[in-house]
Structure 1
Amino acid sequence: MMRLIVVLAILGLGLAVLIFNHDAGESFGIRNDDFGSLVATLPIILMLSAGIVASRRSFGQSIRQLAIWVLIALVLVTGYLYRNDFSAVGERLLAGLAPGKAVTVTTADGSTEVVLHKSLGGHFETTIAVGPVSVPVLIDTGASSVALRYEDAVRIGIDPATINFTRTVMTANGRASAAPVRIPEIRLGPITRTNVEGVVLEEGRLDRSLLGMSFLSTLGLLQMQTDELRLRD
C-alpha cells in the first residue's frame, strides 16, 4: 500500500508540475515533453526494482503489477498531452447543459469564442454585464440596437427624468415609445464594447432586454447553427 501511495504521489506531482510550467516550456531545466516522459517512466523503474527486491512475489504478480503502473502512467500522460481537447469538450458540454450560460472556448486555431445554446423556449438567452449590473437579455439580430427594459435601465443607473422618449419602435407587444441612450460598457464573457448605441423602452412594454445589432455588428464572428450560437471578438 505504501508503495502505491508513493508512486501515485510521484505521478500526481509530476503532472501538476507539467501543468504549472506549461507556458514556460520547461520544468527543472528539462523540456516539458522530456520531463513528461521521465514522469511516465519512473513508475516502471520503481516497479521493476520492487519486483527484483521483493523476491517473495512470483514473476506473474510482478508482471501484473508492472502492467497496472504502465497503464496508470499512460493515462496520466495522455491526460496531459490532450488536456486542451478535454477542456474544450468539457466547456461545450457545460454550454449544452446550461442554456443561457455564456461559455468561453478556445478553437483549434487558438481563437477565443463565446458559445450559447438555445433555451427551452427556442431563443438564445444570456446575461450581459453593464458596469457592475447583470442584465438578462435575448440575442436579437432583428433589433437595430440594444433595447433595454425600463426596469433594467433604472438598475444600471439611467435616470428616466434625463431621457426623452422620442422614437417609436415595434415590439412583440406592439408599438412602443423609446428613448435613445448611450450605454457606457457592455460585457459578454471576454467581449467588451464601450459607448454602445441603445434605446430604453417605456415601462411595461418589453418582457426582456434585447442585445441587438449595435453590439452584435461589432463582432468578428456571429455564427448561428441549429441550437448553437458562436460569437468571436
Structure 2
Amino acid sequence: MRLFWLLMSALGGGLILLIANHDSGRVFGLENSAFAATLYLGLWAAVLIVGFLGSGLRIGDVARTLAFWVFLLLALVAAYQYRYELQDFASRVTAGLMPGSPMTTVSKNGQIHVIVERSSSGQFEVIADVNGTRLRMLIDTGASSMVLSDEDARAAGFEPERLRFVVPVATANGTTVVARARADTVNVGAISRNDIPIYMAQAGRLDQSLLGMSFINTLNGFDLRGDRIVLRD
C-alpha cells in the first residue's frame, strides 16, 4: 500500500504540474499532450506494478505472465495488419479442399475480388448461394441470364409448377422455353445481389445451372487469368 500511495502521489504531482503549466504549453520540456499521455501510461503501469507485487507472485512468474500477454498482444496486432493476406490464405485452403469454392479477397481500397479456379472438366464452376441454398453453377459468359435447372430451382425454394414456361431461348440443343422469376438473394463469395432476375429450365432440359451475364453485368468487371476467373465488385 505504501508503494501504491507513493506512485499515486507522483502521478498527482504530475497532474498538478500539468494544470499549473497549462498556459505555457510545456512541462519539463514536453508538450502538454505528451506529458498527459505519459501520466496516463504511468497510471496503468502503477496499477499493474502494484497488482503484481500485491498478488504475492514471484518475479519469475510475473515475468512469464507479462511475456505471455505481450506475445498475445503482438500476435493480435500482426493478425490485424495481415488480415487480407490471412483471408486470402484461408480462401485458398478452402478452395483446395472443396473444388468450386470461391476465393474472396478484399483489397486495401475495399474492392472485393472473387477468384474461381478452373475445374477438372476445364470449365469454371462455382458454389453459389441462391436464396440461402448452396448450388454448383457454371460461370457462362455466353449465357445472357442466370438459369437454374429444375432440381436446383426446387432446392432454392421455387415451385416450377406455378411458373409459366413461355420465354423462348436458344440453346446448343435447339430452342426451348424457360420460366421467368426473381431470386431474393444471390451470393458468390462475398459478392451479394438482391432481387435479381433468374430463369428456370424445364425438367430434363438443363444438366447444370448457369451463372450468366445478368449477374456478371452487375459487377465492376471480370478477368480471365489462365486457369482462374476473377470477379471484381
1:31 maps to what in 2?
A: none
1:18 maps to what in 2?
A: 74
Give the structure-2-normalised TM-score: 0.63
For the 8 Å contact 2:147–2:199, the answer to whether it is kept is yes
Q: How much has 1:148 moved relative to structure 2?
A: 0.7
1:195 maps to what in 2?
A: 195
Q: Deviations over 1:66-118 (max 9, x none)?
A: xxxxxxxxxxxxx6697347526624643663541111112354432111111
Alignment of 1:1-233 (within 5 A): 13-20=69-76, 22=77, 83-84=82-83, 86-87=85-86, 90-91=89-90, 93-94=92-93, 97=96, 98-233=98-233
Quickly say closer, same or farther: Cα 1:86–1:172, change in 2 above 3 A. Answer: same
Quickly say closer, same or farther: Cα 1:169–1:136, change in 2 above 3 A. Answer: same
Quickly say closer, same or farther: Cα 1:95–1:115, change in 2 above 3 A. Answer: farther
* CA–CA separation in structure 1 for the residues paired with 2:209 and 2:156: 12
- What amino acid is the match of 2:74? L
* CA–CA separation in structure 1 for the residues paired with 2:188 and 2:88: 21
- What amino acid is the match of 2:178? A
Please identify the structure whose Cα radius of gyration is greater. Answer: 2
Quickly say closer, same or farther: Cα 1:211–1:81, change in 2 above 3 A. Answer: closer
Quickly say closer, same or farther: Cα 1:207–1:96, change in 2 above 3 A. Answer: same
For the 8 Å contact 1:185–1:196, the answer to whether it is kept is yes
Instruction: Mark the runs of 5 or more structure 2 residues left unpaired by the alignment.
Output: 1-60
Q: How much has 1:161 moved relative to structure 2?
A: 2.4
- What amino acid is the match of 1:151? E
Q: Is the partner of 1:166 in helix, strand or coil?
A: strand
* CA–CA separation in structure 2 for the residues paired with 1:114 and 1:205: 29
For the 8 Å contact 2:95–2:102, the answer to whether it is kept is no
* CA–CA separation in structure 1 for the residues paired with 2:111 and 2:75: 21
* CA–CA separation in structure 2 for the residues paired with 1:128 and 1:89: 18
For the 8 Å contact 1:171–1:206, the answer to whether it is kept is no
For the 8 Å contact 1:147–1:198, the answer to whether it is kept is yes
* CA–CA separation in structure 2 for the residues paired with 1:172 and 1:179: 18
Q: Is the partner of 1:186 in helix, strand or coil?
A: strand
User: Share of identical aligned residues, percent?
Assistant: 31
Quickly say closer, same or farther: Cα 1:214–1:17, change in 2 above 3 A. Answer: same
Give the structure-1-normalised TM-score: 0.63
- What amino acid is the match of 1:87? L
Quickly say closer, same or farther: Cα 1:94–1:9, change in 2 above 3 A. Answer: farther
For the 8 Å contact 2:147–2:198, the answer to whether it is kept is yes
Quickly say closer, same or farther: Cα 1:7–1:206, change in 2 above 3 A. Answer: farther
Q: Is the partner of 1:154 in helix, strand or coil?
A: helix
* CA–CA separation in structure 2 for the residues paired with 1:222 and 1:170: 25
